[in-house]
Amino acid sequence: MSDLRELYQETILGHYKKPRNFGKLPPPSRHREGYNPLCGDKVTVYMHVKDDVVTDIRFEGSGCAISTASASMMTEALKGKTVAEAEEIFKRFHELVTGKEAGDNDNLGKLAVFAGVREFPARVKCATLAWHTFHAALEGGEQPVSTE
Ligand code: ZN
């Protein structure tokens, strides 16, 4: 268990200090802003979707280690996936952090480190902010996403 905790901290801190796919995407991109007022996390997710595939995805923002690492790892997990696959990963990730998953996380890979946040309900919003924002960007529209 302590190994898992170390892995959890190492992975999350690594992505927090050096976020992957950080920055804007040039237009025409879909983008959406998300905000978690409880913690003060802000994220904007940008993506290009072509022929139902998420061909590129980036994010910008500022927030705590959990929200930044989650956004960073999300971009790695979703890039190159079909929209349907991405939505499935979002669903599984959400189940993982809220503790409702059936135990089959094989295809979540490194994202499984976020299982630890289920012990901290306030952190679940940090961990899912970028994902909800991604989901909203897929659906289109302009309203910023709020976890509240
Ligand atoms: Zn946060």
pLDDT one-digit tens code per residue, 9-54:
899 999 999 999 999 998 888 999 999 999 999 999 999 999 999 9
| Residue whose C-alpha is closest to residue 54's, from 91, 14, 104, 89 | 89
Tell me how far the alpha carbon of residue 86 lies from the centroid of ligand 1, in angstroms.
Answer: 23
pLDDT at 12: 93
Fold entry, domain 2-139 = Sufe protein. Chain: A (3.90.1010)
Cα(68) to ligand 1 centroid in Å equals: 8
Query: Would you put residue 114 in left (φ > 0), alpha (ψ -120 to 50) or beta?
Result: alpha
| pLDDT over threshold 50, residue 1 | no
Position 113 scores a pLDDT of 87
* pLDDT beyond 90 at 148: no
Q: How far is the CA of 131 from the centre of ligand 1 (A)?
A: 13
> For 76-111, what is each residue's pLDDT tens digit?
999 999 999 999 999 999 999 998 765 555 668 889
Cα 104 to middle of ligand 1, angstroms: 26
Mean pLDDT, rounded, for 66-78: 97
CA 38 to centroid of ligand 1, rounded, Å: 8
**Ligand 1 centroid from CA 93, angstroms:** 17
Find the 85 Cα to ligand 1 centroid distance in Å: 26
Q: How far is CA 30 from CA 59, 76, 89, in A?
A: 11, 17, 19
**Which pTM value belongs to this model?**
0.92
What is the reported pLDDT for 60?
97
52 CA distance to ligand 1 centroid (A)? 31
The amino acid at residue 54 is V
